Amino acid sequence: MAETLFQKIINVHKVGETRDEIALKVDQTLTQDATGTMAYLEFEAIGLDRVRTELSVSYVDHNTLQTGFENADDHRFLQDMAFKYGVYFSRPGNGICHQVHLERFGIPGKVLLGSDSHTPTAGGMGMLAIGVGGLDVASAMAGMPFYMPRPKVVNVILKGRLSPWVSAKDIILELLRRLTVKGGVGKVFEYTGDGLEHLSVPERATICNMGAELGLTTSIFPSDDVTRDFLKAQGRDDKWRELAPDPGAAYDHTIEVDLEELEPLVACPHSPDNVVPIRELEGRPVDQVIIGSCTNSSLKDLLTVASVLKNKKIHPDVSLAIAPGSRQVLLMLALSGGLADIISSGARLLETACGPCIGMGQAPKTGGVSVRTFNRNFKGRSGTPSAEVYLASPEVAAACAIQGVFADPRDMGEYPSVQLPGKFTIDDSMIIPPATSGDSVEVTRGPNIKPIPTGKPVEDAIEVEALIKLGDNITTDDIMPAGAKILSLRSNIPEISKYVFGGLDHAFHERATVARSGCVVAGNNYGQGSSREHAALAPMYLGIKAVLALSFARIHRSNLINFGIIPVLIDRETYDHLNQGMRLRMENIISGMRHGLFRLVDIDTGKELKAWIQLSEREANILASGGLLNFVRSKVKVQ
């Protein structure tokens, strides 16, 4: 029977399955420092002396702004933990996890689990790469399988070739325009078509990276001659293998994109799916342009930008900042002369890190208009709540920086032809391998690193207060804000919990502290965006027992279960009835976790409300254990 590429990788890695889930052996894991400190505390709590994966890598790329001791302490802790437990450590300054992993560690056909929602970037080289919460990664490092809800597999056929000044970013923006941020939930996108031969691995990675904004489980491209050329240039051609779907493979759905018909696109505030052609925005003033992030910071991206900026100056009203994706990109940009062209234009050079993408510096001015090559433009994520953030390709961003207004790059003349080198400059000196034995390694712990709060087994009946009522598409940024002021508290749950829903309701922490037992009410797609498990862990610490929502984003739903919070589904009538401050009683919860139905009652009126719990048997067992950490610990001891 003809198989899709997704099916081929699944068949090799499948170690079990149920009607709802597929259990996969995990080959590789990655963490970054915003999620990694907690992930390694969780792995330590499991009790093993070594990771059980083929490869695990700990990256430092998020919390690199050191305005106090907290981030530096976390970095030292992560380096010691990696050295002790068999994990490679990518030092601060070596680059963004997804860019570096693509360059130095990715292998076609392998399964990669990462505690970052943009882990699917590695699908650009034929990996099955999935973003999850940190506790899921800790579990995988302990040798436990990853349980993936069965997705629908969609064939995205790319036809033809992109026109000059149109880029891979415009492909994924077009898909977001068509499908919205909820259009990929429960799906895997598998790319095929004759258009693939004209897309380099970094371009494919851009598409896979921002597929996370569609809500996809992951995206994947074949491993072909383009992939082989990339790996050969990285000195890793021995890792290449050809991988492609069989002719005639059946898919659940098919989408066609004619690349020749695409034009430069822009995602307007405040959602990645609010997409319009650049021509609709032309002439509007721009205050800031930033080029970088894990989406568009590859050597190809920045060589293109350097060619556009060569012998030009940025507009005097614009601040242009550029963040290369890795040390390799920065070095090769310098050796090519492209870095000199960028600096001569008046651009500001930032660290090879995530930086402004997570609100870590470069916040726009009050009410400022910022054009960024990033993947998210949620309100307030930039650090300035009143700012308007637009998402665009490096070509569009460079044109805006020069003109000082939204500008169509197609008006800039001949498109610069950029070819990736046949050989990249290789220097892995900032990647520290683990110790042969970790027995004698001492781990340094700063005062901001606190023990992990653990959940308690779910009770059969509870009374809770509805502490907040929210609308649709609430992001993990809304639940647990990022930014320089808060990210440094990632290893201190009591402190970071003070900021839960801080951007939406400053009184939430105090209200939750007084109530001691509460729930959250929300609309559709609750928890979209980042994989940050703190958006579940901190609410659990505050006594949140359940989230009642019309629907959930995949990663956040898993994180809720992992930390003992019940994801309860409600219908529109129940949603409309519920209000902040209501007292609710949940009964027959244990049975409901197994069979779906339980009782939800408005205590004041006695009205019974429609609600149900939709869990796999494994998820029900996790909640019954008080969370994934307790569940895994019991399993590892049995082994």
- The domain 5-261: what is its CATH number? 3.30.499.10
Contact yes or no for 390/308 (Cβ under 8 A) = no
Separation in Å, CA 381 to CA 41, 355, 475, 476, 496: 27, 12, 10, 11, 17
Q: In this predicted model, what pLDDT tens digit does every residue of 2-11 receive, in sequence order?
A: 999 999 999 9
Residue 589 to residue 456: CA distance in whole angstroms:
14
Q: In this predicted model, what pLDDT tens digit does every residue of 597-611 receive, in sequence order?
A: 999 999 999 999 999
Length of the chain, in residues: 639
Q: In this predicted model, what pLDDT tens digit does every residue of 438-465 receive, in sequence order?
A: 899 999 999 999 988 888 899 999 999 9
Give pLDDT, residue 120.
98
Q: Kindly give the interhelix angle for 134-141 and 628-638, rounded to the nearest 10 degrees.
A: 0
Count CA within 13 A, CB hemisphere, residue 193: 21
Q: In this predicted model, what pLDDT tens digit does every residue of 190-207 receive, in sequence order?
A: 999 999 999 999 999 999
Residue 381 token pair: 């994520």
Give pLDDT, residue 553.
94
Contact yes or no for 176/81 (Cβ under 8 A) = no
Q: Give the H/E segment covering residue 289.
A: strand 288-291
Where are the chain's structural domains? Answer: 5-261, 265-410, 462-638
Task: Write down the mean pLDDT value for the chain.
Answer: 95
Q: Kindly give the interhelix angle for 134-141 and 33-46, rounded to the nearest 10 degrees.
A: 50
Residue 145 DSSP symbol? P
DSSP 439-486: TTPPPP--TT--PPP---PPPSSEEEEEEEE--SS-BHHHHS--SHHH
Residue at 513: amino acid letter:
T
Q: In this predicted model, what pLDDT tens digit does every residue of 380-390 receive, in sequence order?
A: 999 999 999 99
Q: pLDDT band for position 523 (50/70/90)?
A: very high
Count CA within 13 A, CB hemisphere, residue 287: 12
In this structure, is the dihedral angle defined by the CA atoms of residues 219, 224, 226 and 231, taken in order, positive or negative?
A: positive
Residue 259 to residue 196: CA distance in whole angstroms:
10
Give pLDDT, residue 187.
97
Of residues 345 and 486, the one with the higher pLDDT is: 345
Domain 265-410: which topology? Aconitase; domain 3 (3.30.499)
Q: In this predicted model, what pLDDT tens digit does every residue of 280-301 receive, in sequence order?
A: 999 999 999 999 999 999 999 9
Q: In this predicted model, what pLDDT tens digit does every residue of 135-176 receive, in sequence order?
A: 999 999 999 999 999 999 999 999 999 999 999 999 999 999
Average pLDDT of the residues in 23-42? 95
Give pLDDT, residue 636.
79
Q: In this predicted model, what pLDDT tens digit does every residue of 338-374 receive, in sequence order?
A: 999 999 999 999 999 998 998 888 999 999 999 999 9
Q: In this predicted model, what pLDDT tens digit does every residue of 110-127 receive, in sequence order?
A: 999 999 999 999 999 999
Residue 565 DSSP symbol? -
Residue 326 token pair: 């890795």
Residue 376 token pair: 């998210």
Average pLDDT of the residues in 496-511? 95
At residue 484, does pLDDT exceed 80? Answer: no
Residue among 634, 477, 462 nearest 556 (CA): 477
Of residues 482 and 189, the one with the higher pLDDT is: 189
Exposure string over 88-122, b if 16+ CB within 10 A, otherwise e: bbbbbebbbbbbbbbbbbbbbbbbbbbbbbbbbbb
Give pLDDT, residue 63.
86
Contact yes or no for 542/499 (Cβ under 8 A) = no
Give pLDDT, residue 637.
61
Whether the domain at 5-261 and the domain at 462-638 fall into the same CATH topology: no
E-assigned strands of 102-151? 111-114, 128-131, 146-149
Give pLDDT, residue 638.
47
Q: In this predicted model, what pLDDT tens digit does every residue of 39-92 receive, in sequence order?
A: 999 999 999 999 999 999 999 999 888 888 999 999 999 999 999 999 999 999
- The domain 462-638: what is its CATH number? 3.20.19.10
Residue 542 token pair: 């505050």
DSSP helix/strand/coil, 388 = strand
DSSP 255-286: EEEEGGG---EEEPTT-TT-EEEGGGTTT-B-
Strands 111-114 and 28-32 turn out to be parallel
